[in-house]
Amino acid sequence: MNAAALPMPIQELSRAGIGVPILLVTMLAMLVLPMPPLFLDVLFTFNIALSMVVVLVVVYTLRPLDFTVFPALLLVATLLRLGLNVASTRVVLLEGHTGGGAAGKVIEAFGDFVVGGNYAVGLVVFAILVIINFVVVTKGAGRVSEVTARFTLDAMPGKQMAIDADLNSGLTTQDEARARREEIAREADFYGSMDGASKFVRGDAIAGIMILFINIIGGLSIGMSQHDLSFSVAMENYALLTVGDGLVAQIPSLLLSTSAAIIVTRVSSSQDMGGQVISQLFDTPKALIVTSGVLGSLGLIPGMPNLVFLALAAISGGGAWLIIERDKQKAAAQAIDVPSQKDNEVRELSWDDVQPVDIIGLEVGYRLIPLVDKTQGGQLMSRIKGVRKKMSQELGFLIQPVHIRDNLDLNPNAYRLTLMGVTVGEAEVYTDRELAINPGQVFGTLQGIETKDPAFGLDAVWIPSDQRDHAQTLGFTVVDPATVVATHLSHLLQEHAHELLGHEEVQKMLDRLAETTPKLIEDLVPKTLSVGVVVKVLKELLREQVSIRDMRTIAECLAENGANSQDPVTLTSAVRVSLGRGIIQKISDMGQDLPVITLGPQLEQLLQQSLQGVEGGGVEPGLADQLMTALRDNVAQQEAAGHTPVLLVSMPIRTWVARMARHSVPDLNVLSYNEVPDEKQVRVVATVGGQETPDQ
């Protein structure tokens, strides 16, 4: 309760800090000093008013933690009531022989008017109130308080860990985390206090029973022995006063017990208890409709109070109709407000509106949706998963998932492949046809839609599915549309593998390697090289179509050479030497000799001199053009002879030649002499610029 809402005198006492001491002194005075009947009337009325205020505050409180003073207030109110019992008992026993008004008007009214002046009825009513308070309300509230306190304390470590996790991830600030911790602590303190305070209420109910019997027995003894009253007169006087006193005490006790039960069974909400009851109990018209039907059926039975049942049935049915009409009006209002809400959403931008770029994306036209829809028998999803698995095993790191979505801006049969949001490939496929690819030698022609194979640019024809066998007999390679897209994706991922590798993937690879060789990774990162340098080296290897599966060999080479150079190009050359056996095996399989093309000594020496100290920019353009032209001619001859074209050069110029050949002669494998294992025999099949240097 806010202090500003209190009456002015109480506010002044509260600010002065003497309100509670005055109340305690008053309770102490009631225990030791005789109270006049008028003062007892004031205190009994104040006790009832205090109990009603507490009940109403509990009902209108949104959260239990908003009324954390309740356990202490419950103790004070209980002590006040017990003090009143002691004061009233003194007056009843001293002045009870004079009649019903001896202990004040409040006790007389409860003993005479409420129970009709019949002490037997009063005893029954008092017993019922005590049973309700002690057996039902107090016992239930105590059990709920005990269980809630136990579960609240058990949940504290988990809540604290959740706050720490949110704080570490940046979801909350230091101030918010501190406020949440304080709230958790207050919650535990509150329910722990309520668990103890419920014992006060329980003890108060037991004390009320004992006080009743003590007062009746003591009153009979005093009235008959000291005031010469007959048993019937003494019983009537003292029993009525005792029952009135008991009822005056038990009604506030029942109110406070109910308050305790309400506050421990409340769930935090944006509504008070009344709002929760209305919104949750009467928010479903079906319950009122069924209730109306049942009451109406009972009201039609002869002998039943028909008017009462039918009236309640009509009220329930009317309430259901009003709820249905209210829901219709809300739905109509929401339909009207939808455009304005959408406008507000557009205007109210946040970082959630900035969507991250898809690392790998596949956009399809609407006619290709059956390829990716499993419910329609689409196989493309499983094919893409297979491509990712195969590529991950070959390259040595996990390929990111492919984000697939439809794009109405594309042609119905078209698809588009993107990397980092940029288109790297697109083509058209036909779901009702198959692609017959010309591998280079076929024995006939096919009728269909002529095209190019999206992955390798070979001549191809889209043919009906029933011509598959005929196309294969002619020497064509026939594949279904899903395979066409999957092969195109695989080819592009192979070409752009270096773009898919980032710091996160490299760190994961290092972490996995650290599980088996922790000392190696400890010496490599960050003692010798930073993660950024390692990423650059691995990217360069992937750019040159070298697998990075053998991460242990790569890490050992980097740890060995990293102390001498931090240059990614130099480190890449060193790593290639370490991986030489794997590079050669990929090119020539298990063959004994390696057919290679070499550069003439004068040309190689000229290139070394031109590139010395200059990173790729010291070679005269005409010389570079003539070199690439000569390499293209030799590569064509090697491919015609069935050999994999390999150019063998010295290590200082290998990187530059490889970069030039990557765009001009993409099928050429450029190796350095150091990368060829000792057991591999090199056979020179051609020499570029063997006798004379090309004109500069």
Give dist(CA 652, CA 665) in Å, integer. Answer: 20
- As given in the structure block, the two tokens for residue 148 are 């809630």
86 lies in the same domain as 101 = yes
250 close to 208: Cβ distance less than 8 angstroms: yes
Closest alpha carbon to 500 in 430, 569, 401: 401
Contacts 24+ apart (CB under 8 A), 304-312: none
338 lies in the same domain as 459 = no
Residue 10 lies in a domain: no
245 lies in the same domain as 328 = no
pLDDT at residue 425 in the model? 94
Closest alpha carbon to 386 in 370, 402, 409: 402
Which CATH number does the domain housing residue 606 bear? 3.40.50.12790
Give dist(CA 491, CA 403) in Å, integer. Answer: 17
Greater confidence (343 vs 151) lies with: 151
* The domain boundary residue, chosen from 467, 496, 525: 496
pLDDT mean over 248-270: 72
Residue 6 lies in a domain: no
Give dist(CA 136, CA 56) in Å, integer. Answer: 21
Encode pLDDT of 464-498 as tens digits.
999 998 998 899 999 999 999 999 999 999 999 99
Residue 514 lies in a domain: yes
262 lies in the same domain as 297 = no
pTM of the model: 0.51
Q: What distance lies between CA 412 and its chain's CA centroid?
A: 38
Encode pLDDT of 89-138 as tens digits.
777 777 766 665 556 667 666 666 655 666 677 677 777 777 777 677 76
430 close to 388: Cβ distance less than 8 angstroms: no
Of the CA atoms within 13 Å of residue 667, those in its CB half-sphere come to 14
33 close to 91: Cβ distance less than 8 angstroms: no
Query: Residue 414 has what DSSP assignment?
Result: E
Which CATH number does the domain housing residue 447 bear? 3.40.30.60
pLDDT at residue 419 in the model? 93
Host domain of residue 409:
360-496
Give dist(CA 23, CA 42) in Å, integer. Answer: 14
Encode pLDDT of 324-343 as tens digits.
887 777 777 666 555 554 44
Is the pLDDT reported for residue 548 higher than 90? yes
Residue 653 lies in a domain: yes
- Phi then psi for residue 414, to 5 deg, are -95, 155
Residue 521 lies in a domain: yes
Greatest CA separation found in the chain? Answer: 150
438 lies in the same domain as 544 = no
Residue 586 lies in a domain: no
* 3-class DSSP state of 259: helix
Residue 462 lies in a domain: yes
* The domain boundary residue, chosen from 445, 461, 496: 496
443 lies in the same domain as 381 = yes
178 lies in the same domain as 58 = yes
Number of folded domains in the chain?
5
* The domain boundary residue, chosen from 442, 477, 496: 496
Closest alpha carbon to 397 in 209, 581, 546, 198: 546
Q: Which of 186-200, 311-325, 494-508 has the weakest average pLDDT?
A: 186-200
Question: How many other C-beta atoms are found inside a 10 Å radius of the C-beta of residue 572?
Answer: 21
Encode pLDDT of 568-610 as tens digits.
999 999 999 999 988 888 887 666 688 999 998 888 888 888 8
Which CATH number does the domain housing residue 557 bear? 1.10.8.540
71 lies in the same domain as 126 = yes
478 lies in the same domain as 407 = yes
CB neighbours of 556 closer than 8 A, spacing ≥ 6?
520, 578
370 close to 378: Cβ distance less than 8 angstroms: yes
pLDDT at residue 494 in the model? 92
* 3-class DSSP state of 158: helix
Is the pLDDT reported for residue 3 higher than 50? no
Question: How many other C-beta atoms are found inside a 10 Å radius of the C-beta of residue 656?
Answer: 23
225 lies in the same domain as 321 = no
Residue 63 lies in a domain: yes
651 lies in the same domain as 569 = no
Is the pLDDT reported for residue 279 higher than 70? no
305 lies in the same domain as 424 = no
Give dist(CA 394, CA 668) in Å, integer. Answer: 20
